[in-house]
Amino acid sequence: MVPLPSPFYTVPMRITFTRAGMMRGAWRGLPLLIGTAPFGAVVGVIALGRGLSLGETILMSGVVFAGASQLLALELWTDPPDIMAAAIAALVVNIRMVPIGAAMSFWLDALRGWRLWGSLFLTVDQSFALSVAAHREGERDAGFLFGLGILTWIGWVVFTAAGHILGSVVALSPQNPLFFAATASFVAILAALWRSPRQDVPPWMLAAGTAIAAQALRLPPPLPLLSGAFAGAILAAVRETRAPRLPKEENRA
């Protein structure tokens, strides 16, 4: 007699990396360009105001590829520029990518070589949010993140260049609504990550409360941002470890 399979037995889910997955990621990321456009334009306008040429702005966006750290570095840009101060500020802001990378282990652990390093370079807040949402929906192709990242990278470089050109043609006041684009794009990320009030509200509220408290204590930037991010991430990690385990995925990319 053949024994019946246990109701608790699940087949490991195989992680792949295909061109089809990359295309799905790029297609899924098209709406992101709507929010990335004004954000990138703001960075381009500010870069122009700090004296960067169009070529220097494009190079910065292509190599750094991190809107928040670019904004902070430009805010600290002086004449002559303090390269070390700007680099350290960008490094501190990008420390948030450490927990983001850990949260993406469901795909990154399966990758090697250029697939891994390329995916890490191309991962930003927006692609992280959409990739987590896609994984929860059953996506098991790690090419999704890579394709999404390539689209986002191209869009970011194009939009920052366009902002630099726009700034040289039209003078924008500091109160222009365009400068709210950076904040709006990060707030919109929460929509893709949303699961339920019980799961998401406590970490988000702790992150916001911690950041506001750090700001009230007049801690220098970017400490309020980092303290809020790590407080929320720690609480979310603790809650996830207490949640029921999902079937283990098979790493074969």
Q: What is the reported pTM?
A: 0.70
Shared-domain flag, residues 232 and 172: no
Report how far residue 236's alpha carbon sits from residue 213's, in angstroms, rounded to the nearest whole number.
Answer: 19
Q: What is the helix (H) or strand (E) element at residue 36, kind and residue range? A: helix 32-49
What DSSP character marks residue 80? S
Predicted local distance difference test score (pLDDT) of residue 171: 64
Statement: residue 147 has pLDDT above 90:
yes
Question: Does a structural domain hold residue 61?
Answer: yes
Write phi, then psi, for 88 (nearest 5 degrees): -65, -40
Predicted local distance difference test score (pLDDT) of residue 195: 67
| Residue 170 burial (CB count, 10 A) | 9
Report how far residue 203's alpha carbon sits from residue 189's, in angstroms, rounded to the nearest whole number.
Answer: 15
Q: Which domain holds residue 94?
A: 13-194
Shared-domain flag, residues 126 and 230: no
Shared-domain flag, residues 113 and 167: yes
Tell which of 194, 211, 226 closes a domain: 194
Shared-domain flag, residues 168 and 217: no
pLDDT in tens, 45-69: 888 888 889 999 999 999 988 887 8
* Residue tagged 């024994």 (tokens): 3
- 1 band by pLDDT with thresholds 50, 70 and 90: very low
| Residue 195 burial (CB count, 10 A) | 10
Predicted local distance difference test score (pLDDT) of residue 252: 54
**Mean pLDDT over the full length of the chain:** 80
Predicted local distance difference test score (pLDDT) of residue 7: 41
CB 94 within 8 A of CB 82: no
Helix/strand/coil for 139: coil
Strand partners, 13: 249
Shared-domain flag, residues 156 and 234: no
Query: Which residues, 6 or more positions from 109, have their beta carbon under 8 angstroms from its beta carbon?
Result: 251
Report how far residue 98's alpha carbon sits from residue 94's, in angstroms, rounded to the nearest whole number.
Answer: 8
Share of the chain above pLDDT 70, in %: 77
Question: Does a structural domain hold residue 248?
Answer: no
Helix/strand/coil for 52: coil
Shared-domain flag, residues 112 and 216: no
Report how far residue 137's alpha carbon sits from residue 217's, in angstroms, rounded to the nearest whole number.
Answer: 41
Predicted local distance difference test score (pLDDT) of residue 202: 87
Predicted local distance difference test score (pLDDT) of residue 158: 96
Q: Where are the beta strands (DSSP E) in 135-208?
A: none
Question: Does a structural domain hold residue 200?
Answer: yes
Shared-domain flag, residues 136 and 229: no
Shared-domain flag, residues 91 and 163: yes
- Residue from 73, 75, 93 nearest 84 by CA: 73
Shared-domain flag, residues 213 and 168: no
- 229 band by pLDDT with thresholds 50, 70 and 90: confident
Strand partners, 15: 251
Total domains in the chain come to 2
